[in-house]
Structures are given as structure tokens and as C-alpha cells.
Amino acid sequence: MDIAELSDSILKADRRALARAITLVESARADHREQADALLSRLAQSGRQSLRIGLSGTPGVGKSTFIESFGMMLIAQGLRVAVLAVDPSSARSGGSILGDKTRMERLSRERSAFIRPSPSQSHLGGVARRTRDAVALCEAAGFDVVLIETVGVGQSETVVSELSDLFLLLLAPAGGDELQGVKRGIMEMADIILVNKADGDLKATATRTCADYAGALRLLRKRPQDPEGFPKALTVSAIEESGLAQAWAEMQALADWRRDGGAWEKNRAAQAQYWFAEEVRQALLARLSTPWAKARMAELSAAVAEGRETPRDAARDLLAGLGV
């Protein structure tokens, strides 16, 4: 593959080249990895930045429907929109690829849109890296907005929030009890909570749920990256396409405030540091899963069980063998 040519095509916003490049960064082959790294280094010089929006929500809350409506609205304003997904469970992503192709039918036909489902890779570290690389590729391809979707399964929210400039939490209208079900850690990541399905019979419940979440957000510790009034909760209807323009206005207001005050740059710098540490961690973990390391681990583990070595000495032995 000619990396210079691929790079030029991506900079010219060629979607097929972008798709090929994402396939390249997803590949586990060592030669592909090398080409991918060369491509990413080259494109990093473009200096282009998209607005990266993370979006999380439990299954069925309306993420796909929201992305379709919201994406179509952005495109109508002349913006280019990329959609990526982080889904650490391969079984699920197998299903949602098909589901999303039909649910995002309008968006997937748009020339200004690019949709890429999660790869079928079950290990979160691998998915995280691939998504990070895919985000970088979409930025180089000049997308104005990159939406990064995840289903709420614990760790994947952290991955998405570490890749985003803004983090949206999509919630369903619910009774008071279910309010408790949202984990505090996830609430704390949210910049804007969107209570979806505020239409028909659910409208009143959605309004009440929204007020409850707004109250809960006010109880959280004030964050330096927020202007007055954020994080905030709003109601939307992805199906009726209502509340979307207001949600977008709030996102832009927040992004502008962060850009002007330096919080944006600070956040991106902290994210770069997070991913650096993560790369180191992943590389060390990879060294632990070679056949030699596994065999040595089993040997030393038996020695520990039989009391022939202390856990600490055994660990030292293993690490010395790895040259760490």
C-alpha cells in the first residue's frame, strides 16, 4: 500500500481511502501495524481538529435514532459528520452492525457522512486503540464533527470520554427509582444529559426525569472545565427530531467557552498523556502474553503455591526474564 498516496487521499476527504485506512489500523498484522503508524504520523501533521462528541447510553435508549436525526441536522447545516462506535463485546457488535445499517439509513446515504461500526474485537484495549486511530483519521479527513458512540458497559465509557471533547449521556424517561441506576462515575463524565423519547405519552415523564437529573447534576462537584450552568440536562425526541437544535446550541456554547478559556487544550493534552500511559501499559501486557511468558508464569505460579518462592520473588524472577 502506498502510504503517501493514501494520506493525500484522506486529506482530500476521500471516504473510500478513509475506510481503507481504518481497516489498516484495525489489522493485527505486524507489517500493517507499521504502515498504519507511518500513516498516522504523517497525518498528525495536518493539525486539523474536529469537534469530538462522545455519546453513551444503555441499549434501546435511542442512540442510533439520535445519531441519525442529529447527524442529518448537522449535515443540513453544511457540516460533515463521522460516526464511530466503541463496543467491546464482539457478539453484540455483530448484531448492531446490521441494526445500525438499517437504523441510520438516511445518514449512511449522505455524502457528508461517514459511518463505521465497531470492529469485532473483544478486547477493550484493542478496541480503544483502533477507535483512537480512527478518530485521528477522521480528523485528518476534515470532518467537522466526530460522534463516538458506546453502549453503557462500564469501561467503554472511560475510553470514549478520553477520546471526546464533549460527552453526552443519553437517558430514557424513567421513574425515580431508576434514577439511582445511573452510576455516579458515569454521571460525572457527562457534559450534557439528554433525556430522549420526550414525545407522546412519555413526554411528561421525560420532563420530570430531566428535572430530576438536573437536580442530581447540581449536587456534583463543580469542575474547572465548566461554565455556569453546566453540566446540564435537556429533553429531546430523536424520533420527532425535537430539542436537537437546542442541544446542538448548548454543545457549541460549551465547546466555545472551553476553547476560549483554555480548558479545551488542557483536556486534549491530558488525553494525550492518558493514551501515552495506556500504550505503555498495553505494550507491557502484550509482553506478558507471549508463549514464553505464559509458560514461565505457570511455572512460577506453581512454585508460589508450593511455598518454594514468595510471590514477590517470583514476580521479580518473571520480570527479570522479560527484561523489565
Ligand X SMILES: Nc1nc2c(ncn2[C@@H]2O[C@H](COP(=O)(O)OP(=O)(O)OP(=O)(O)O)[C@@H](O)[C@H]2O)c(=O)[nH]1
| 62 or 231: CB nearest Mg ion | 62
Beta partners for 85? 149
Exposed, middle or buried: residue 68 (CB in 10 Å: 0-12, 13-18, 19+)?
buried
Q: How far is CA 136 from CA 14, 209, 233, in A?
A: 15, 36, 29
**What is the closest distance, in whole angstroms, from the C-beta atom of residue 31 to ligand X in the complex?**
35
By CB under 6 A, tell whether 50 contacts ligand X. no
| 100 or 309: CB nearest Mg ion | 100
- Choose one: 139-147, 211-219, 234-242, 305-313; the region binding ligand X (CB under 6 A): 234-242
Residue 55: what residue type?
L
Residue 27: what residue type?
S
Q: Which of 6, 113, 135, 151 lies at the binding interface for ligand X (CB under 6 A)?
A: 151
Q: Given the rule CB under 5 A, which residues bind Mg ion?
A: 63-64
Q: Which of 61, 171, 194, 233 lies at the binding interface for ligand X (CB under 6 A)?
A: 61
**What is the closest distance, in whole angstroms, from the C-beta atom of residue 58 to ligand X in the complex?**
7
By CB under 6 A, tell whether 54 contacts ligand X. no
Rounded Cα distance between 55 and 151, Å, is 8
Q: Which of 22, 24, 238, 254 lies at the binding interface for ligand X (CB under 6 A)?
A: 238
Rounded Cα distance between 55 and 282, Å, is 25
| 100 or 309: CB nearest ligand X | 100
- Choose one: 17-25, 176-184, 198-206, 286-294; the region binding ligand X (CB under 6 A): 198-206
| 79 or 239: CB nearest ligand X | 239
Q: Which residue is nearest to ligand X (CB)?
A: 62
Kindly provide the residue ranges of all beta strands, DSSP E only, lying in the chain, ordered along the sequence: 51-57, 81-86, 113-116, 145-151, 166-171, 192-195, 232-235
**What is the closest distance, in whole angstroms, from the C-beta atom of residue 149 to Mg ion in the complex?**
7
Residues 6 or more apart whose Cβ sits within 8 Å of residue 174: 181, 205, 209
Q: Which residue has the cell 412519555?
A: 202
The three-class DSSP label of residue 200 is helix
Q: Which of 15, 42, 103, 208 lies at the binding interface for ligand X (CB under 6 A)?
A: 103
| 95 or 175: CB nearest Mg ion | 95
Number of neighbouring beta carbons within 10 Å of residue 137 = 29
Residues in the chain: 324
- Choose one: 31-39, 96-104, 116-124, 136-144; the region binding ligand X (CB under 6 A): 96-104
Q: What residue ranges bind ligand X (CB under 6 A)?
A: 57, 59-65, 96, 99, 103, 151, 196-197, 199-200, 202, 237-239
